[in-house]
Structure formats: structure tokens, C-alpha cells
Chains A and B, each alone.
Chain A
Amino acid sequence: MLMQLLAGTPVFLPLAGAAALVVLSFLGIRLKDELIEGAARAVSTIVCGAALGLLASVGGGPRRLALGHLLGIDVTLVVDRLSAPFLAVAAFLIGVVGYFSVRYLRREAGFQRFFLLYGLFSGGLSLLFLAGNLGALVAGWEFVGVSSVLLIGFYAERTAPARNGAFVFVAYRIADVGLVGAMVGMHLLLKSMSLPFWLGPTAPVAPSASLWIGAALVVAAAGKAAQGPFVAWLPRAMEGPTPSSAVFYGALSVHAGAYLLLRTEPFWGNSPVIRSVLIVLGLSTALYATFVGRTRADAKTFLALAAAAQLGLIFAEIGAGFPRLALWHALGHAMMRAFQFLTAPSSVMYWSVRLRDHTQPSPVRFLSPRLTAWVYRRSLLGLGGTSLPGVPRPAEGNDLQGVESR
């Protein structure tokens, strides 16, 4: 019972908080900042405590915890060496960022709205990590997606956040198609949506089923983790307040893609095609994001692209069959990057004493001026993001065709 409580708390307590704020906002009630601050701090402290408790418990082996039935659906959470560390890092970062935000966003008009979305994100991410079957994972995934998009569009009175929020929304929807596809594939081909313990014994999966399910999962994971063509959404997500950019897209949300692949490895792992795709996709994204990132002069895009590059390596590691390395890499990277995003506003002062040693002529220039020019052009044109499949260009954007074709 204690374990059930520990596992249920990180999911349902923040969601309950968010639900309460939804109701209050619907009734037009605006809580005092101090009250929201106190509640956010209490919730995130409890969630951190629960996450630590779960982390301590995995020494005793993985557990599958049935929380009971919710409207006839079996709610099962999995606590193992994959979900517990992910949850612990997420709870820590969400807690720190919550503490950061109660002051940073003070007296901002959207204070209550921010913490509504914060609760939604927090509970959703916990559910995503702890889900014992793909259906529950999808539910958490959607909470995370919706709250992310709304946080990007936080300053909806300006045009750019609304536009970029819509862009990310579309990218997420494409990823969702993959996830729903995987769910359907599992249902039809495997007759089960249960998610196994990490690196535990699993029933063999036919190669054809691996290919189908794996392909769908790769689309989902790549969308969430800003890999391949999806890399364009990550810089656009930097429209919200600094703490939300930092923790949600820069550090946590993107790693959900890697988590998904790690958790579902038994289903796609025996397809060499999927493994190769992951390696190629990851490495090419890593190179592309690194190159483009080096052209960027703004702190947040630079960090966002550095994050996409590391996620590319994590994808490649997962594809190549180094899940333990990928886990450490992902967790360390999330922590490190969150810190850097939170301190991004101070980058001018941080680096300014000796400017000259920072910028160097690009080494690629000596290899190929044309490659350099191409990298810069991609960078300046929004990473080619306007050509994301199915996403219309902004009407005014057509005037750049001359530049793109040159």
C-alpha cells in the first residue's frame, strides 16, 4: 500500500492541483500569488520525496503496482531501474524550477495559468515515466504535450509565441500519430499493451511486428526529442518564460522521447532496420544540430541545439544497443542542460570579460565554403523548419523561395 501511495503521488497530486486550478480559473477565481506559491512548493516537495522513496525501493527489484481500476481501466505503474531514476531526476528538476518560478514569475499576469500548466506537466510526465502499459503512457504523453504547447504560447498577446506554439503543436501531433500507431500495432500484433520491466525477460516479438511497431515508435520518439526533421521545433519552443523553456523543452520533455525508446526496446529491438534508422537518425541530427548550433549567436537556441545534438547521440546509443549508457547520458544531460538554461539570461555577463577567445572561424570553412554557407542558410531560415511535412509556410514566407533555392 505504501508503494502504491508513493507511486501514485507524483502522478495524481500535481494533476489534482492542476484540476483545482482549472476549476478555479473557470469560475473566474484568481488565487493570491502566495497561496499558489505555497501549494506549488508543498506539492513539489512531496513529489520529490515520493520519487526518492521509489528510487530507494528499486534496489529490491522491479515492481508492478496495481492502483486499482479507474472506470474499468486497469491502472498499473511500473517502478524499475528505468522509471525510478527518470522520475527522480524529473521530480528534482521540476521542484527546483517550481521554486525558481514562484519568484521569477511573481506579479506576472499569467502566474496562476503558469502553475496550472506546471501541475499538468508534472503529473503528466510522472505518468509517462511510471506507466505500466502503453495506454497510460499515451495519457501522460498528451498531458505533457498540451501543457508544453500552452507554455510556449504563454504570451499569447504577442504574435510570435502563438505562431510558434502552433508550430510545435503540429510537430507534436505528428509524433502523436506515431504513438497511436504503435498502440494500434501492439494491440493488433501483440494483443497486449503491457510494458515490460526494463532489461527484464520478455516474450519474443516477430520481426515484422518489430518493424511496424518500431517505425511508429521512432516517429513518436523523434517528434518528442526533436530529432531529424523535427529539430526545427526546439528553438521555436523558447518563447515562454525562461524557467519553462529550461526545464520543459530543454531538459525534460525532449528526454521523454529517449525514455519511450528505452521502455519499448523489447518490441522493436530485434529489427535491425529500426536499429539502423535510430543510429543514422541520431548521428545525423547530432551533426546537423551541432553545426547549426555553432552558427547561432543567441543563448537559448544555442543550448536548444546542443540539447538536440546530445539527444541524437542518445538515440544512436539506444539503437546500437547501449541502453545503460543511454540512461546515464540522458539523466546527466537533463540535469546539466536545465542548469544552463536557467542561467541563460546571465550569459552576457558570464562570458563578456574575454570575448575574443570564444568565437573562432569555423573549421568547416576550410573543408568546404559551400557546406558552411549551407549550414548558415539552414540556420538563418529557421533550420528548414518551414518545410516540415504538412506544415504550411506562413503566407508571407513565400518571398524567401529565391533564397532557399539559391
Chain B
Amino acid sequence: MRHTATAAEEPPSDPVERLRAVVAAVRHWLPSQGPIAVFVHHNTLHSFEHMPFEDAVEHVARRNGAQPYLPHEEYLAAWRAGRISDEAVERALADRTAREGASFFGVLTRTAAERHALRVPFVAYSAASLTWTLAERGPDGFPGASGGPLGGAAKRELLQALVDRIDSRLAAESPAPSLAGDGALATEVDRLTAQFLGAFLDLGAARWELPGRKHGLLAAAAALGLVEASGATGPELVVRLFEERGIEPPEWENAVFALLRPIAGWAGMVATLEEQPELAPAGHPRASLVELVALRLALGAPTDMAAPVLASTGTAMIAQAFGVLCRAGIDAKAIVGAHQSDVATFCRALGAFDDVARRRVLHRAYEETFQRGIVAALSGRPAVVSTQRPKFQAIFCLDEREESMRRHVEEAEPACQTFGAPGFFGVAVAFRAAGAERTVDLCPVVVKPQHVVAEAGSADRPPLARLDRAINRATRGLVPGHAIAAAAGLLAGVPLILQVTMPRAAMRLGAWLGWGAMRPERPLAIDATGGFTVAEMADRVGTFLDSIGIGRRTARLVFVIGHGSRTANNPFASAYECGACGGNRGDRNARIFAAMANDPRVRAELAARGAPLPDDTWFLGGCHDTCSDAIDLFDLALVPETLRRELGAARATLDAARAENARERTRRFPEARFGMAPAAALAHVERRSASLREARPEFGHGSNAALIIGPRALTRGLFLDRRSFLLSYDEAGDPFGEILSRHLGAAIPVCAGICLEYYFSRVDNRVYGAGTKLPHNPVAMLGVMDGAASDLRTGLPWQTVEIHEPMRPFAVIVAPRAKVAAAFARVPDVLGLVARRWVRVVVLGGHDEAPAWFDGRGFVTIDRLQAAKLRVFSRSRDYFDGTRDHLGPVVVGRESAC
């Protein structure tokens, strides 16, 4: 794994060692996404987590030509729409470090000037465009200048005064220069490198294997005659070529950056596979980043990048000053009468509060407006605790998409309980699917599973699916392709029109024919060699139930429901699956957990430990498809006869809930009309899941924004708009905060990885994201390109992040401050994320503690926070129907019985 580098070390004297250090440093600038079939959400700027959030995003954006925050206009639109509150803006402005200079021109305080400047987006005017704008659009055509107390003539005078007084050659602060960054390959060398790497790293997409790739990157390139065979190792070759090109060691880092940046996606894949060879099958060729640097040098790629050009000069400053002064109502007389140094001071101050600084302030206000809304909603909640045994309990993943599912289950059956837990349910396993050669880790990526669970049976696909693939492969050959095309090619029109126009029927037909058969329930070897002992199973079950606050107060029926997402024509399918299962479906974990918890030996062991489960409790594994809203339940045949009736009733509840959930989801899809009947909504989402023509089968984690760690009693009946991860936790059962530590250590990295990946893919979809899905072309089973040749596009596509409001991860923890502090102290890595503001934390303490920000060092009570008086709706649908926008918290449902 990678470690964060700090610069201050003495460079090694050995050139090869020095080169290694340089390459390791540049590696941090490359994506670390693995092969796309297992999409693991991670912080796009993971390598810069040792820096405070704002410093990191701005630093990386500057060098990458990316955006650190949303465009200024988007914040202004959010401000107008009420998604940024005036108070939050004031607080964010006040938080800026103390600055000198009380006022300008005797009337305008610095804070007032900055407040006005927030409404003045930066535009890089040249002298010509300044003149043109004035002539064509008038003074109101400048950003922020329309309206205000000044009249048209006064504005013209003011602008003239500024033109006279501000030196247009003055260099001002400017936004980061724009590099290509959109994956386009500018030169033939880049294209050659990209296509060579596609063939070299191929996991099995090409028909032929690149000859000689087993011997390494440079050897394979030499075998094709791309470079001369030298026999030198990568580092030796790089050092030699640097010498030949006259590049001195101090310039190495910039040179390596310039060599790799144009193919950053591919270079990142080389580095990721170098660091984590287990991501590729055994026998996959090994390559190192240094070798790639050598190849780039040998191919003659440039070692310098175009110097950043200052996009702005004094002319841009004139427009900025004009906008601010118009808003402040300061006219030309003040400027003409002012001393030249006053004007210069004003310009300097505006320059210091530059484009990025303004967006930083607005971004903080944007986040805080949302976050205070959540805290206000939570702090007014009565905690209802019932002593009745619930009809059933359902444990879902903490995934924010299950927030609505749980709410609808509770709405359909008030006498039930739901819980949220990391969707691997505490069973970290290396899973060997039937007939597979390799195991898959079904747990968060930060966990290394110690146990293997294997599925019995062989991996053979159903005969029709095998035939389908055999035909498909044959059509790509020359002679078989001819035979099939001429003899039966027209028959392809049948599946084509069926799948495009009737996706649900086509899917059912396929399932009936045994084509895309659902994964059958095969026996699992949980306690075989390498698997779990009875004591370990009892540990897992007991610990897990304690961690989410169920303890032993189980109902007769407990559903353990993982999740996944089935989509039809989507290279990013894995990104929609369960993050807590490492980008896989959570069905197997749910099934394993239920099997463990039902095992009589485990029950006996738990009883022997003095914490028995009720004898009449039965666990049932299941899987919720977040795209089609199907719920599969496993091992139904094993359910005791005595529970049949309860099971029937509970399944009816789940069915009603998933239909309502589908309905809530359809409100976001513009193709779905409002007010659909539940069955129609269900049909709609099933169609999305099965359809080839769906660029947005679902929105994935789009719009996720918060993580609430606390008892369900606090959030039950609260409409959270599928934006909050919900982790069940009851501090009463955790006297020393140890459970909380585990939660923080597991849930925060997973949720923060998701949230930050969405953040970066949304604020700059071009550089950090994968761009629009429509021209994507899967390559080498590793990822996607745009068209026939581009850089590997990492991150998330636009269609997934479209509705996302990019915000840092925000955790609300319901526990006394002292316990939270103690729990964080045991997970220093996570504490560091909080201290460096990558994660914002609010603590809702006990009765005598007011809600407080936790900044990694101490607690700061949230000032002027009032418990929200929330509107009440009897059912979620009464609230969500009729709008596609984000919705704030409200109370829904009858008073719960549990």
C-alpha cells in the first residue's frame, strides 16, 4: 500500500535510489483505481490526506489544471435557491483568519468588501474583452454589477475611474491554468503508449496475448520494435536517458510528472497493479512505473510541460473592483479622490480574496447549511423506546440508499425494527465462488480477511449462456463470422428488438430459458479448513449484534439483507454495489451471517458464554437490488415450520416497502412521471435495471452527504432523502467506547471514500471523473476509454454524479463527548482525517451536552442552533411526490410502536 510522502528528506545520492523516490512522489499524482470490474470507491486525492483538506484540493487542482470546488456560478445558484444560507456565509466569512486593513476609501470595511466579492464571479477579462463587454452589454454586463444602488451613468463613470487608476499590466491572482486533462491524447506518442499499455495490461479482452509480455514492459516493447532492446533495467535506462537529454536530478520530478501526466490514467493503472498484484489474475505480467517512465523517455515523450500562464491581469482586476464597488454603492468620486496607494491596497485585498478563496468560503457555507439542517432535525427528536418485542427485525447495509428502504419497511409495518450496519455484517471472508480459481475479498478494503468460505459446485454457466458466448466469440472471427452472418445474422434482430424495447420481458424470457439464470443457492463450506471455527462464528455473531445495539433482544425473525445492483449495459456496474463488501454484492455475506447465527453449535456457544440468543429466533439472509428494488431471500427451505406465518407476513411487508421505495426513487428520474402507483414504479425500476438503453440505471450513491452513527430511535420517522448513511449504534451498550472505535475505524473510511470520490468526480468531472458515459469504450477489462484511443478514464461518469451535491463527508455521532473523544483516540488515522478537515464531525451528546463540532482536538458547541420544527406527513409519498429536487428532513409516519 502507499504511504504519504513528505518532502523534507535528504535526497539519496545513488541515482537509482533517487529516481525511485522521485517516481514514488509522482505516483501520488496518479489515480489509484483498480480494474473496473471491482470498483472500490476511494478518496480521489487519497495521497494528499496528510494535508488539510482545503490545502490539498487547491494544491492538487493547481498542478493538475483541475477545479478544487464547484464553479462560482453554481454556488451563486445554490445561494439563490436557498441551499446556502446567509448566516452560513457570514460564519464562513468570519472564520477567515484575521486580516489587516479596516476599511477602504473610508467607507467600505474589508468584511463588507469580501461579502460583496462573493457575488462577483471571476472572469479573466483582457483589455479587448473589457471594452467589448462595456460596448455590447453596458456596465451591467460585468459580473456582479447589475442592480445595486448606482445608476447607469454612475456605473460608467466608476468604470472609467477604475480604468484610469488601475494599472492594466498589474498581474493579479488567477485560477489554475487549464491543461487538457479530459483524457484526450495530444500526441502520437501518447496514443502509442496508451494502446501499448492496453495490450500489455490486458486482463483478457484481446483475442491474442501481446507477445513477450511475460518478460516485462520494456522487453515487450523491444520485441515489437517500439524501443531498442538494451537489456538495462527500467531505472538504469531512465537514468541514462535523463543524462543523454541533459536533465539534471533536481529537474527529475518535473520531468517524470510531465512524462506521465498525459497518460495519467494508464500510468495510475500500472502503478496500482504494481502495488496490488492480487488485483490481476496469477500470471498477469508485472510492470513498474519506472519502466513506464523509461518507455516514455525512449519513445521521445516531452519532459517539460507548458508553463502555467497567468490567466488574469489588471483588466480582470478592474472588472472585479467594479463589481464589488457597484454592489457597495461607491461611486467614481470616491475613487478619483482616493490616494493611489488606497486603490492599490484595495486591489491587493481583492486579489488576496481571489476566485479560489471565494469559492472556498462559499463551499464551506454550502456544506454547513446542509449539515446544520441535519443536526437541527436530529436534535429535536424524541427518542421513543418500546419494550414490546417487534414482529420482525431487518438489518440492512448502512448504505444511504437503504435509508428510504428502511423507512418504507417501518411505514408498512410500524411494529418492526430496522438496523443499519456495514453490509459485510462483520463476516470478512475471502470467498471462493463455485469453480473459481481465485477468492474475492468480501469486506471493506481496509480489512484483510482471515477466513476462506468456498461455494460448492462447478462454475459452469447454463448451457444457453455458454452457447451465447460461443456464438458471440465466433462472430468476431473471419470464417465463422462469415458463416454466422450469412446464415443467421438477421436473427440477431430478434434479441435486439426484444432487449431494447421490452427489457423486462426479455429478461424474464432469458431467465425462463435458463440464460441469465440467477446465481443458484449452492451449499457453503463455512466451517471447513480455512473457514471459521464454532468459537469464531460465535464471536462474529455476538460482536456484530452487540455493535448495532440489538444485543440479544432479537425478534423471532431477523432479516439480514445485503445489497447489490444489477444493471444491463454498464461498465460501472460494480460501482453501484456494496462498498462494505469491497465493491461486490453483499448477498453472500448476508447468507453466511445468517447460517452462522442459526447454527445450533453457535447458539450453544453463545449460551455458554452467558449471552444466549432467544431459542425461537431465526435469521434469514437476503439481498436488496438497489436498481430493480428486488429482494431475494436465501435458504427459505430451512426456515422452521413454526415461523411460516410470520415469514409470510414479513415478506408481504418487504414487498410493499420495496414498491414504495421504487416510487420514491422514480421521483428523481425525469423519464418517470409523478404519482405512479407502486406496481408501476416497480416495473419502471425493473425496466431500468434490465434495459440496454439506460445511461442512468440508478444514481448510485449520488447525493450522499452524511453518516449518522446512533440509535434508530433518533432517526426513525425522519425523512432523510436517501442522503444519509445510517449506522445503528447504542452508546448505552458500549461503556468504554470500544464499539464506537470499531465503527469509526470501519464506517468512516468506507463512507468517506464514497463521499470524496463523488465529491471530486462532481467538482471536476473532466479531470477527476470519467466524463460522459456515452462514448465510453471498455478496454482490457481494466476500465473505459473515450472512443478508440484515449487515456484510461478513472473516477465516476457524469451520469452518476449529475444530481450529487459535492460535500465533504459529514458524520453525526450520538454519544457523550468524552466517549467520542476516547473512541477517536484509538483510531488515529481516522482522527487525522477529522483533524485535517477531510471529514466533518458533529457530536450529539447526552442530555446535558449541546450539539458540538468535533475538530479532532476538541469540541466546539454549535452556536445559535435551534431544534427544527419539522413538518409532519403521514407517509413519505405525501412529501416526496411532485419534485425531483433534493428534499430537506421532515417527520413521516404514525408514531412508531417500537
Contact = CB atoms under 8 A, between A and B. Distances in A.
A105 B774 contact: yes
Q: Which secondary structure dominates chain A's binding surface?
A: helix
Interface in B221-251: 223-226
Contacts of B459: 353-354
A400 B195 contact: no
Contact of B184 (A105, A159, A235, A333): A159
Interface residues of B, number: 90
B493 A335 contact: yes
Contact of B788 (A105, A236, A365): A236
Q: Which secondary structure dominates chain B's binding surface?
A: loop
A394 B192 CA distance: 14
Given A295-B199, A295-B208, A399-B300, A377 B225 contact: yes
Nearest to B185: A160
Interface in B477-511: 477-478, 481-482, 484-493, 495-497, 500-501
Contacts of B484: 332, 336
Contacts of B186: 159, 396
B37 A313 contact: no
B461 A235 contact: no
B187 interface: yes
Contact of A104 (B37, B478, B774, B788): B774
A331 B208 CA distance: 28
Given A306-B481, A348-B781, A377-B225, A238 B211 contact: no
A55 B189 CA distance: 50
Interface stretch (B60-68, B651-659, B689-697): B689-697
Contacts of B191: 382
A359 B788 contact: no
B692 A331 contact: no
A103 interface: yes
Contact of A290 (B209, B472, B477): B477
Interface string A336-349: 10111011111111
A376 B213 CA distance: 13
Contacts of A241: 774-775
Interface in A358-386: 358-362, 364-365, 369, 372-373, 376-377, 379-382, 386
Nearest to B196: A380
B332 interface: no
Q: What band does the interface of chain A fall in when counting residues whose beta carbon is under 8 Å from B?
A: 35 or more
Nearest to B776: A345
Given A106-B671, A158-B184, A380-B199, A298 B205 contact: yes
A164 interface: yes
A335 B670 contact: no
Given A382-B191, A399-B188, A298 B780 contact: yes
Interface string A310-346: 1001000000000001001101111110111011111
A240 interface: yes
B166 interface: no
A309 interface: yes
Interface string A270-302: 000000000000000011001001111111111
Interface of A: 89, 92, 96, 99-101, 103-108, 154-155, 158-161, 164, 235-236, 238-243, 245, 286-287, 290, 293-304, 306, 309-310, 313, 325, 328-329, 331-336, 338-340, 342-356, 358-362, 364-365, 369, 372-373, 376-377, 379-382, 386, 393-394, 396-397, 399-400, 402-403, 406
28 contacts: A100-B693, A104-B694, A106-B670, A160-B790, A164-B787, A238-B777, A239-B786, A293-B207, A295-B210, A297-B781, A299-B777, A301-B777, A310-B481, A325-B486, A332-B485, A332-B488, A333-B481, A333-B489, A335-B493, A336-B489, A346-B569, A349-B570, A351-B205, A352-B37, A379-B195, A400-B188, A403-B299, A406-B226
Given A100-B692, A155-B772, 17 more contacts: A107-B670, A154-B775, A238-B775, A239-B775, A298-B788, A332-B485, A332-B486, A333-B489, A335-B490, A338-B492, A362-B209, A369-B223, A382-B191, A382-B789, A397-B188, A399-B189, A400-B299
* Among all A-B residue pairs, the 7 with the closest Cβ atoms: A332-B489, A355-B204, A362-B208, A241-B774, A239-B787, A397-B188, A294-B207
